[in-house]
Structure 1
């Protein structure tokens, strides 16, 4: 493998000498860097990593001694090897001064090529070995740090695991046990007694008593585990239920491991029991919620599909507006229901949401107690109220400033009765065909909720009466006392 080249700085103010040094040192195969003055040498040092400096003692402006002193003042170059070249006979005092400035050797002029190459090669190789040792030290330090961090992390994890185990045992969620397979002796810790709902003072741990606390449907799992260990299985894990003495059923997960002798015979079985009842209940709630969300999503899609399918209009714009209005009404009631975690919605809140788009002042009178509606009932009434408000604003009492609307409701024997009475608006006559409003009211209120939807097309204004059971019972109701065959879309009387 080729070794990495190092940089050798040649400093002299005479180009001929620099060229001679290059010729002498080129066979070393290192990188030769040239500087024709002390200042230029300093600039090179600041930009380049130098292994050896070959510098002429006698240079104008900044001689070799001065340059060496400046180099040694910099922390990076305090150990950089410097070789002085002197064309004059230096005294012992001058040599001492040079060594004090940081020189490692002197080369007299005329330069003997073999001697100069040998000296430079020694210091270049020393620099290379030093760097290699530094690199190895860094790698070793990195490995030590990594290993130390790994050990610290492992220790922290073990400590955290032990803390979690202690906390779990203290909270009654985990217990450990030991069963001497030969003598039949059992050992339970405090957590094990707590999980099974028994006390160490009154409960004797033996196979019969333990089996008595297992759920009848899970007893076979205990027998299966024992059989597996007799067949050579060394570890076993299963979920099972226990029935505490007070009758409470708890879910647990048990893990067991066998210890064998030299002949491979099981001599001891040890294990851990974890109470996972809360997790099981959470899973059941999550599954129930997923089914409920799926059910609600399908219902919402079915309602949206009915809205799109049953909406009629002569113009595309009217059709889009009608569909958007009905979808928005459905979205508003869904928002109300989501805020109550789908527990229900207040009837007055539904009416307020439908009133919000209109600025009707004192044209509307509301009267009735607070009524909590089930989600399905709230969805149905939200769409019904939307249809009634929309049609009244287009054709009925709310289409004129003189029109009046009274909405009254009451509850008796779990039956909600809502009365919608318009007056003071345009003359009204019964429509000739059913629209979306009538069909949705009849289908939802009567068929789904077991209620009644009744319409009376009076000339002075529509009178609508809705009867809706507030319980979950549904029934097929007959037609109302009023004519239910008309459209909820009112028509202005003509002539």
Structure 2
């Protein structure tokens, strides 16, 4: 038997599942309308009469339960049949929640085609019967209106009021609005006022006031939307920023749909606004993190490149050991900084990492308060300490059991002073030339950190004094990817 086709809305974020539902339901001979998200489903409902809604429970941004709650809040859709379908939420509690949200049935996965077709067919037929009754009632109302002008007036006002109601009910960070294109009247719901940070008791909704709340760089979006609706566009979506009266900037995404009259002229525009500020901030944090990782990786690679290029040794084995030692020192401080989320490093931890191989027999003494170093200073001092420990182990106090090493430091007037004092080791003579370790230490401490390094080659043992500022930002951080130490080491080796 021929009958008028009804619209069945299929809502799922997975195209493969939507295709499967179409194949299962095509034999019913109804109009199948597709929506790949909750927001798209709301837009369809703005413009299309729907008999049955088949909606997936698990969807990003707006899941099936939230969508059902929003739809049920509107009087126009309180009796629209909604069937939930889900692959995971099949417990009695989940089914009960689905019914509480307005579902008339609940279909688990895997879907049995015959069962799904039967359920959709029942509700489609019920919708058709209901529409037939509505049409009969409409005819009756038309007859009454023909006899009673007052009743006709009242009914028209009720219809207009119904059309003005927003399709998007305030739920979470969503709001809805309605704009009469002819009279210029606006209507906002509670969610819209909340997003813009204003109240209906003090804020008059009109184009001038709305524009005043838009970010100056995004005002053109409003003008563009108006121009497109005037040129025939029926739906529009864009991201924009608002500036609340308290100065807070919020990111939003707006979706709008136009209502036209019989002549094709726009008479009303309705829309939904969603606050996406948290998502935008998360994206900004991700981008900042990516840039920071890139910057630090380039700095670390530049330091490693300088170490490999400028290290000198008498043989291949000595060269490999020297390079590995310096790169391992850089890796150790990198680990310490990573554990602090690159907020800084304690000087005592840097020293502990470097002295670990030489701490047997109580040859080393430490004295100093807890001092927090910024990342760039920590990296440079770690390499400097590595050179001092390496030289001492080869030629100085740590090369014999009788040798002693005292490391003391203090922080005063925003300046760190570290004293390295060796004793009891082999007889010390002032070197005729500076090795790579000494040259790199001087270059990094003096040129990169703006500090000072002093060496006193006493006969009883080396006395080294390092002074560095604690808060001065090293020059290497001013140009991402470039490390001044490399240039200093190059000049020092010449």
Query: Is the TM-score greater than 0.5?
Result: yes
Farther-moved stretch of structure 1 (225-234 vs 427-436)? 427-436
Contact 2:476–2:484 (Cα < 8 Å) also in 1: no
Cα deviation, residue 165, structure 1: 17
Farther-moved stretch of structure 1 (209-218 vs 34-43)? 34-43
CA–CA separation in structure 1 for the residues paired with 2:306 and 2:87? 108
Map Cα deviations across residues 124-176 of structure 1 (whole Å, 9 max, x no partner).
99999999999999999999999999999999999999999999976752111
Farther-moved stretch of structure 1 (123-132 vs 356-365)? 123-132
Q: Which runs of 5+ in 1 are unaligned?
A: none
Farther-moved stretch of structure 1 (84-93 vs 1-10)? 84-93
CA–CA separation in structure 2 for the residues paired with 1:330 and 1:135? 81
Higher relative contact order (Cα pairs below 8 Å, separated by 6+ residues): 2
Q: Which runs of 5+ in 2 are unaligned?
A: none
Change (3 A) 1:119 1:245: closer
Change (3 A) 1:273 1:392: same
Cα deviation, residue 434, structure 1: 2.3
Contact 1:240–1:252 (Cα < 8 Å) also in 2: yes
Map Cα deviations across residues 327-346 of structure 1 (whole Å, 9 max, x no partner).
11111100000000000000
CA–CA separation in structure 2 for the residues paired with 1:123 and 1:50? 11
Contact 2:295–2:480 (Cα < 8 Å) also in 1: no
Match of 2:191, SS? Answer: helix
Cα deviation, residue 180, structure 1: 1.4
Task: Quote the residue 1:461 is aligned against.
Answer: 461
CA–CA separation in structure 2 for the residues paired with 1:478 and 1:263? 62
Cα deviation, residue 11, structure 1: 59
Cα deviation, residue 58, structure 1: 67
Map Cα deviations across residues 218-270 of structure 1 (whole Å, 9 max, x no partner).
21221111111111111222221111111111111111111212221111111
Map Cα deviations across residues 405-449 of structure 1 (whole Å, 9 max, x no partner).
110111111111111010110011122222221222122111111
Q: What root-mean-square deviation, in Å, do the aligned CA atoms of Structure 1 and Structure 2 show?
A: 23.3
Count of paired positions: 493
Change (3 A) 1:287 1:192: same
Task: Quote the residue 2:285 is aligned against.
Answer: 285
Cα deviation, residue 61, structure 1: 75
Contact 2:70–2:168 (Cα < 8 Å) also in 1: no
Q: TM-score, normalised by structure 1?
A: 0.62
Contact 2:451–2:466 (Cα < 8 Å) also in 1: yes
Cα deviation, residue 188, structure 1: 1.1
CA–CA separation in structure 1 for the residues paired with 2:174 and 2:88? 90
Contact 1:417–1:465 (Cα < 8 Å) also in 2: yes
Cα deviation, residue 285, structure 1: 1.6
Change (3 A) 1:139 1:309: farther
Change (3 A) 1:144 1:368: farther
Match of 2:366, SS? Answer: strand
CA–CA separation in structure 2 for the residues paired with 1:295 and 1:368? 32
Contact 2:7–2:52 (Cα < 8 Å) also in 1: yes
Q: TM-score, normalised by structure 2?
A: 0.62
Match of 2:488, SS? Answer: coil
CA–CA separation in structure 2 for the residues paired with 1:110 and 1:481? 58
Match of 1:55, SS? Answer: strand
Change (3 A) 1:380 1:170: farther
